Amino acid sequence: MSRILLIIIDVFVKWEYRIVAILLLLACGSLTILLFFFYRDSTILIPAIGGTYIEGSVGEFRPVSPWLNITNDVNRDIVSLVFAGLLKYNPATRHIEDDLATLKVSKDGRIYAVTLKPDLYWHDSTPASPHPVTADDIIFTFKTLQDPQFPISLLTQNFQGIDIQKIDERTVQFRLEEPYSFFPSNLTLGLLPARAFEGIPIQKLDQALEFGLSPIGAGPYRVRSIVQTDLSTEVTLERFARPIPPVFRLEQVVFRIFPNYATLLSDIQNLDGIRLVPHDDQGSPIVPRRLRTRNYTLPQYVALFLNTDHPALQDSHLRLGLQLGTNKQSIVEQIGESVIVDTPLLEIDVADWHYQFDERSAQGALFESRWYLPEKVRLQRLLEYREANSVGPLRIDPIVLLDTGAILTITGSLHSAPLGSTVYGLPVEIHPTLTGAWIVALPTHRGTGSINVGENLIRLNGPKENILDSFYLWRTTKIDEFKRAAEEQRLLDLFLASRAGSIPPEEQITAGSLKIDHGFLRLRSDKDILDIRINEDGNPLTLTLLTSPSPRSYSIVAEHIKKQWRTLGIDIRIDIPETLDAFQKRMLTRDYDILLFGQSLLDNLDSYPYWHSSNIQKNGISEKDLKLDAYNLSQYTSFAADALLEQIRKTMNEEERQAALGELRDVIRQEVPAIFLYSPLYTFAHQQDFLGIELKNLSLHSDRFLTLFDWYLKQERVFKTGFSWLSFPKWLFESIFTSH
């Protein structure tokens, strides 16, 4: 019995242990769950440092330098991360802000003082051999640009006439000859270390390949390696710690530069982003769907620049007619674009823009330009003939069908033309049957008084050779021509009756109802297109449109413009040189009537270089004297526009600037030096797991990296403000009682 009791006690103890163990497990599990919920509620996810971003682009890699890469967009991306300027553009605010330095501007807008932030170092700096950024580097970077031997003239012009002085080891002063409100944009150029260029002549700086392949900057990333692979050139950048905000999170940024887009797509599995995604004919991006696409525009416009040196295009009515007759919506649909532009001043509102597509108004403007449709010229001439023939003693049918050898008999009153008078050189005779009348027979063979085929001006002269009357007579020997001429005379009668309102409205015709066919007017059909307009001298309105061989969209736009303007009676001859060099030469010499091309305003949106008369290309000068920076492609000269452009550049008052922009908009709108078409839409693609990417208001493609500090791949949890593990009891207590 006692043994059984011991067995029972032993079993009971074992179960007790098991229950306790189970209870302990339940308690630990509950605590773990509670701790999980506490941690979830008390923490937030924040971006963490780490990760590599690999981007593919199409282009050609060249040695890396802020001086050399101003026109190479692919290298410009690398430059934007490796080098830093004194100032930088902020895509969020659209303002120029501090970067390596702080800026102070004098009240008169002529003195700009920059002071470097402390503890800035170049990428080659080491604890054993520190290489700080100093005022000497600022002096070197910008004074080098002022040297006449500096090989890149496009940069030199931004610093001409500017006095640059070192104030102390961290401060440099730029003194301008006159106020220039856009000057801070020039200080966004990447700073260069003076020490790296010691012993290199200024005229050979563009040949400093050693620096270009191992660049030294002060930007947030430094070059780790440049490797040529079978598919691409691969440039690897690694994060460089700097004492100035913001902090960049990605440890590495890798650029893979491919020769073409097909090769890029072959490596798409290894890419996190694509720089510029091409579009198909419908405007859709050519990219795998798993990538997220972001569309953006830059402060750019594509326009038809009207060369105002061309005699015809000096007529503002003609320019206006071309503007009104351009269907921009149809054009952008043809090339998959969507952002229509109406003015080069991209920062102002154009909701009240007046010159929208209006073919009827375009025809009116073109009529005012004295470029006429041949139908109207023909109609006007017939009306003049009709009016001249309606007065005076001569009464003849205006059109006659006479074979060679036939005779046209003309009669008249002796009261209006006495004996001794002549008709077309032949003397009048007494009419054999009509009393008080004369008669004359005009031959159709060669000789005096002969009526020729075509137009003849029949003159009645008095005995003293004085002109008594003139009559316009048209002769043909062909029955089909006579029928067309007779129909033309009928239409002329119908037109005059329509103009007088003497016939019902449904029977009336206008000049637009008529069409020239084989030299005669007939009624226009729906299938007829307008003939080429002519001027008073009979010269046709034919204009040459020059455009670049790339991008392909330019040729499509040019063909569409040709079709649109053909319906206005304008003949356009498209000229696309085979090479880009040949095109640039034609553009530089202004060898075009109309130029289809694009312009970029960059971050300051300064229109001065493109529309001020100082930037036209002078005519008749030698090729060596041509201005490379003559960006006024319309050869536009306007005293009003010049004054406003100068005011916009000089004023430091934002209200004055906006008012001047509004006035300039109206001047350009009225004078129509160009027809602004659209702003190109660009597409950037990236993997979904890259977060924080916002493109905002870019001025250059590379500006997307100005917000790279917001991009991240990794995340970590941190306690919210005021929370820690010690907050668990309080959270538990509040959770229990709050739940009740």
CA distance 674 to 143: 37
Distance separating alpha carbons of residues 262 and 266, to the nearest angstrom: 6
Is residue 530 one of the residues assigned to a domain? no
Residues 572 and 721 grouped into a single domain? no
pLDDT along the chain (740 residues), means of 10: 60 65 75 74 80 94 83 88 95 92 93 96 94 96 89 79 94 93 92 89 77 92 93 94 93 96 94 93 85 92 96 94 95 91 79 74 88 90 94 93 92 92 93 92 88 94 93 95 96 94 92 90 88 88 95 94 94 95 93 95 86 90 82 95 93 89 91 95 93 90 93 82 76 68
**In the 8-state DSSP scheme, what is residue 121?**
B
Sign of the dihedral through C-alpha 133, 135, 136, 137:
positive
Runs of H (alpha helix) within 508-590 = 552-566, 580-588
* Domain identity same for 111 and 131: yes
Q: Are 85 and 72 in contact, with CB atoms under 8 Å apart?
A: no
The tally of domains found in the chain comes to 4
Report d(CA 255, CA 53) in Å as an integer: 9
Same domain? For 474 and 498 the reply is yes
> In this structure, what DSSP letter does residue 153 have?
H
Distances (CA, A) of 527 to 3, 32, 378, 515, 530: 120, 84, 21, 11, 10
Taking Cα atoms as reference points, which of 704, 682, 689 lies closest to residue 272? 689
Query: Is the residue at 725 inside a domain?
Result: yes
CA dist., res. 633 & res. 305, Å (int): 6
Half-sphere exposure of 128 (CA within 13 A, CB side): 0
Mark whether 80 and 218 lie in a shared domain: yes
- What is residue 35's predicted lDDT score, i.e. its pLDDT? 73
Is position 528 within any domain?
no
Residue 564 in tokens = 């649109």
Q: Where are the beta strands (DSSP E) in 216-363?
A: 221-228, 233-239, 252-258, 273-274, 292-297, 300-306, 339-340
Q: State the pLDDT at residue 155.
A: 77
Q: What φ, ψ does residue 190 adopt, rounded to 5°?
A: -60, 135
State the Cα–Cα distance between residues 205 and 150, nearest whole angstrom: 8
Q: What is the pLDDT of residue 352?
A: 60
Q: What pLDDT was estimated at residue 652?
A: 86
Given the structure tokens 């500006």, which residue do they identify? 703
Residues spanned by the domain of 14: 2-50+716-739
Give the per-residue pLDDT at 398. Answer: 95
Q: Please indicate, yes or no, whether residues 42 and 65 belong to a single structural domain of this protein.
A: no
Of 466, 489, 523, at which residue does a domain stop?
523
* Same domain membership, residue 238 and residue 182: yes
242 and 384 fall within a common domain: no
Examine the domain organization and report whether 74 and 171 are in the same domain: yes
Residue 429 domain flag: yes
Question: Are 102 and 220 within one domain?
Answer: yes
**Cβ neighbours of 84 (radius 10 Å):** 25
- Using an 8 Å Cβ cutoff, are 186 and 674 in contact? no
CA distance 457 to 596: 48
| Residue 252: burial class (beta carbons within 10 Å; 0-12, 13-18, 19+) | middle
For residues 445 and 584, membership in a common domain is answered with: no
What's 113's domain CATH number?
3.40.190.10
Q: Output DSSP code: residue 44.
A: E
pTM, rounded to two decimals:
0.83
- Mark which of 501, 523, 545 sits at the end of a domain: 523
- pLDDT score at 10: 61
Residue 736: DSSP 8-state = H
Distance CA 435, CA 100 (A): 110
Structure tokens at 542: 């034919």
pLDDT of residue 325: 95
Residue 451 · residue 442 · CB < 8 Å: yes
Would 218 be classed as within a structural domain?
A: yes
Residue 484's CATH number: 2.60.40.10
Among residues 632, 660, 679, which one ends one of the domains?
A: 679
CA-angle at 518, arms to 514 and 524, nearest 5°: 20
Long-range contacts of range 550-553, CB-CB < 8 Å, 24 or more positions apart?
Answer: 550/580, 553/335, 553/337
Instruction: Report if residue 435 sits inside a domain.
Output: yes
Looking at the fold, whether 564 and 615 belong to one and the same domain comes out as yes
Provide the CATH number for the domain around residue 567: 3.10.105.10
- The pLDDT of residue 647: 93
123 and 261 fall within a common domain: yes
Buried b / exposed e over 437-457, threshold 16 CB at 10 Å, is bbbbebbbeeeebebeeeebe
Q: 7 Cβ partners below 8 Å, 6+ apart?
A: none
Asked, for residue 266, whether it belongs to a domain, the answer is yes
pLDDT score at 684: 95
Separation CA 615–CA 619 (nearest Å):
12
| In-domain check, residue 338 | yes
